[in-house]
Structure 1
Amino acid sequence: MPAITHTPPPYSGRTAVITGGTIGIGLATAKALVAGGARVVVTGRNEDNLRAAREELGPGAHVVRSDTADLGDIDALAALAGERLGRVDLVFVNAGVATLHPFQDVTEDDYDRQFDVNTKGAYFTMRRLAPLVRDGGSFVLTTSVTVGSGTPGMSVYSGTKAALRSFAQVFAAELLPRGVRVNTVSPGFIRTPTLGAVDATEEERAAFERLGDAVTPMRRHGTSEEVAAAVLFLAFEATFTTGADLAVDGGLGQGLSHPA
């Protein structure tokens, strides 16, 4: 009688920190990791989302309130990750915020909040957590298809994500001696609870969704799970890839057009 072999879960023994991990892309990534046997620390700010994520992710995840724009919270996150996880295999820098306005309507508060979260917060999260990432580990950062699209109403958001892309390339170079890879994932129109626009009305989100389906060459929104799959590929499978950007955008940023 042949021996029965048991294949371990794909992420057994792995550890990860995910910022902005209580909804959408971050939550989908956390769910895939926990289902695969990993231990994760997940951050968010909204109490309802934090509570729901704790229930959904179960004991394999430590779900904590943390504001990416607050450097004190970033320090506390690093301390918690070190205590709960020890060395970390993946840091997924995913927390972000978008407010969509024509540039003449952008306020200083709009500008500062987006750069504080998307850019400054991401930078110092990477800086603070880098010592915890094991040699050979990985960072993945969420940028956006808007970096190269010139989309009206997204001047500040696009600028924050373009800065993040540059940060990732420099961090990739600086972390080469440790074998730590740094890559970015660039989503297009993805079906998430907010569709990436936190301050939009339901009517505005519906119009935004129709626009996304119309302009995306694949004629649909992507799913959070599809982006999560790309994140996990970069994190654990793309072992000869660093400093790269992986588009998950249905062809939107690739110059494709939908057949008539």
Structure 2
Amino acid sequence: MANHEIHGKTVLIAGGAKNLGGLIARDLASHGAKAVVIHYNSASTKQAAEETVAAVKQAGAAAIALQADLTSAAAVETLFADAIAAVGRPDIAINTVGKVLKKPFTEISEAEYDEMSAVNSKSAFFFLREAGRHVNDNGKIVTLVTSLLGAFTPFYAAYAGTKAPVEHFTRAAAQEFGARGISVTAVGPGPMDTPFFYPAEGADAVAYHKTAAALSKLSKTGLTDIQDVVPFIRHLVSDGWWITGQTILINGGYTTK
């Protein structure tokens, strides 16, 4: 039986500077990860990435921050190469990168669509490709998607629509990488109480989302708390390795499939 513990493992987290990605980095370090590579997108996130690196080191793991815009295959290749040069091949690769656009279908420009596709689909595809090339045997790969993949709703065509391909990328990668003992999953949180959520939503929409989940009344904000998502990520990259090729919606009953 392969070792599926987190202890002693090397982790690469795309979008790992803050919010859910930053909390995952801290959590895996506190559960014994040997090294954590924190990817961040731009200079505006550099300070958050450095703070997460410091927290990971305080938890006893090695840590490094790497900046890259992952909307090109070359950038994703370089991220993995630099991570491997710094701390070795990853055992766990997690991609939390994403961009939200809430807008009527008829008002979405070609430039907006291209950007959403590049961030949500293309970067995920090439992250999975490079993870398949470089993650150690018996490794774990997780991509963050959205619970809107289980919704029948307007205004999120470009967001949920460009996250939707990741479901098939996940199934294909799980089949192709499975012979090496690698599990591949997608996780779709509900609307999360982070700065990622609020800019795209008006006050009425925020009020709706805060009451839409079956368990909303048990949440501090009514939204998905990143603290409630992290344990599932930890499970998928350790004892939950037998789950593969799946999209798992973690949302308190906000949507289902």
The TM-score range, normalised by the shorter chain, is 0.7 to 0.9
After the TM superposition, which residues 42-61 of structure 1 pair with which residues of structure 2 at under 5 Å, given as runs?
42-58=38-54, 59=57, 60-61=62-63
Contact 1:23–1:193, Cα closer than 8 Å, also in 2: no
CA distances 1:210-256 after superposition (whole Å, capped 9, x unpaired): 2211211112111112212111111111122111222211111138x
Tell me the secondary structure at the aligned position of residue 185 of structure 1. strand
Tell me the secondary structure at the aligned position of residue 124 of structure 1. helix
Match of 1:166 in 2: 168
Shift in Å, 1:84: 1.8
Distance 1:68 1:186 in 2: 20
Counterpart check, 1:37 vs 2:32: yes
Match of 1:3 in 2: none
Distance 2:146 2:7 in 1: 30
Contact 1:50–1:64, Cα closer than 8 Å, also in 2: no
After the TM superposition, which residues 96-107 of structure 1 pair with which residues of structure 2 at under 5 Å, given as runs?
96-107=98-109
Shift in Å, 1:19: 0.8
Shift in Å, 1:205: 5.1
Tell me the secondary structure at the aligned position of residue 234 of structure 2. helix
Contact 2:149–2:160, Cα closer than 8 Å, also in 1: yes
- The farther-off stretch of 34-43 and 171-180 is 34-43
Match of 1:13 in 2: 8
Shift in Å, 1:163: 0.5
Contact 1:138–1:181, Cα closer than 8 Å, also in 2: yes
Distance 1:186 1:90 in 2: 18
Match of 2:219 in 1: none
- Report percent identity of matched pairs: 28
Match of 1:82 in 2: 84
Match of 1:154 in 2: 156
Distance 1:234 1:245 in 2: 12
Match of 1:67 in 2: 69
Contact 2:188–2:247, Cα closer than 8 Å, also in 1: yes
Task: Name structure 2 gaps, 5 residues minimum.
Answer: 217-221
CA distances 1:169-202 after superposition (whole Å, capped 9, x unpaired): 111011111111001111111111221x65x3xx
Shift in Å, 1:85: 2.4
Shift in Å, 1:115: 0.6
Shift in Å, 1:207: 3.8
Distance 1:18 1:207 in 2: 33
Tell me the secondary structure at the aligned position of residue 183 of structure 1. strand
The alignment's TM-score, normalised by the length of structure 2, stands at: 0.88
Distance 1:48 1:205 in 2: 24
Tell me the secondary structure at the aligned position of residue 252 of structure 1. coil
Match of 2:20 in 1: 25
Change (3 A) 1:190 1:177: same
Contact 2:42–2:69, Cα closer than 8 Å, also in 1: no
Q: How many residues align?
A: 241
